[in-house]
Amino acid sequence: MAVYTHLGAEELAELIAEYDVGKLLSAKGIAEGVSNSNWLLETSGADGKATRFILTMYERRIELADLPFFLGLLDHLSAKGGPVPRTIHDRSGNAFRMLDGKAIALIEFLPGVSVGRPTAGQARAVGRALAGIHLASADFAGTRANDLVPKDWQELFDQCGENLGMIDADLPVAVQEHLPELLAHWPTNLPKATIHADLFPDNVLMLGDEVSGLIDFYFACTDMAAYDLAVTHAAWSFGGKNTVFRPEIGAAMIGGYEEIRPLSDAERSAMPLLAQGAAMRFVATRAFDWLDTPDDALVARKDPMDFVKRLRFYAEAGNAPFTAAAS
């Protein structure tokens, strides 16, 4: 989440009037994230009770044609009882509207907090929740190809060009060292599902050790379920300024996932390579965003070198990080 476009109070109030959610009471831009503009809104509510929502304006990496998939997936998972926010449709029944040439959507606000240093219990709950959405989406009619596969990482690095070394001199070295192997050996025949593909701690809301919300599904796609687990493992299992692997977190996450959806032998064997790919994917997008983000955008840039360190860890560690903890 972030704010690239600035909307005034009058514009937001006019927009909210198109929904049956009462009058706008307050609005605050959200600075986290890198892809869209987001606001936390409070309205008087359709029944007169103050209610919160997230308003999203889609800015980067999202094609308008993909929005029915993203928003339909939210409604599908929410209807199945998953901890996923539903889309608020406007008075005409639309899941999204256009404003100044950009698509916007109003999303249900869910309670909970994003944790900075997760416990093993929280990691296990996230693993269970991730497996749950993989199973719950099995009858979801929509499909979407993953547009951030290895060849796309290569294209992002190519667009960065020589500027890649301006971020860190070691960055192009790491890319040259690891990307060719990922391009050559990336698996294609593992079981697929509708995956989140970006389940960082700030995209999970917790109430104690329970997952109260999975949010920000705007990289969701149809791809390998085990890759989604590898992405989440890489996003959650490191502490100490993102450089130190926390084995108890990684093991609890794998254990929680397998309580709901056991991995096949082929998936388990592929996890080291999938985790390296997960790390490389975030090296690529973070490097591109670092160089492409306007200086006046209300966005916190994210250092791609954090994931270079994770990439190298996975390349050296083999299967050890993916052993499930006992319940």
Task: Give pLDDT, residue 292.
Answer: 83
Task: Give pLDDT, residue 34.
Answer: 53
pLDDT tens-place string over residues 77-102: 999 999 999 999 999 999 999 988 89
Domains with residue ranges and CATH for the chain:
9-108 (3.30.200.20), 120-322 (3.90.1200.10)
Query: Which position has the token pair 């490097």?
Result: 287
Q: Provide CB contacts within 8 A for 268, sequence distance 6+.
A: 319, 322
CA-based nearest residue to 125, from 264, 249, 242: 249
Dihedral sign from CA coordinates of 261, 266, 267, 272: positive
Task: Give pLDDT, residue 242.
Answer: 63
What percent of the chain is helix, strand and coil (3-state, nearest 5)? 45, 20, 35
Asked whether 29 and 57 are in contact (CB, 8 A), the reply is no
SS3 135: helix
The amino acid sitting at 63 is E
CA-based nearest residue to 20, from 84, 93, 85, 96: 93
Query: Which position has the token pair 């701690």?
Result: 201
CA-based nearest residue to 13, from 51, 54, 41: 41
Helix axes 225-236, 305-317, angle to 10 degrees: 110
DSSP codes of every residue in 204-216: EEEETTEEEEE--
Pairing of strands 210-214, 102-108: unpaired
Q: How many CB atoms lie within 10 A of CB 61?
A: 16
Asked whether 311 and 280 are in contact (CB, 8 A), the reply is yes
Measured CA to CA, the distance from residue 238 to residue 136 in angstroms comes to 28
Measured CA to CA, the distance from residue 260 to residue 270 in angstroms comes to 19
Pairing of strands 210-214, 244-245: unpaired
Q: Which helix or strand (DSSP H or E) is residue 172 part of?
A: helix 171-185
Which regions of the chain are under pLDDT 70? 1-5, 31-35, 60-61, 242, 293-300, 326-327
SS3 108: strand
- Where b means 16+ CB within 10 Å and e means fewer, 139-157 reads ebebebebebbbeebbebb
Asked whether 60 and 79 are in contact (CB, 8 A), the reply is no
Tokens describing residue 325:
């903890």
Report the Cα 160 to chain-centroid distance in Å.
22
pTM for this one? 0.91
Task: Give pLDDT, residue 59.
Answer: 80
Query: Which position has the token pair 């307050």?
Result: 26
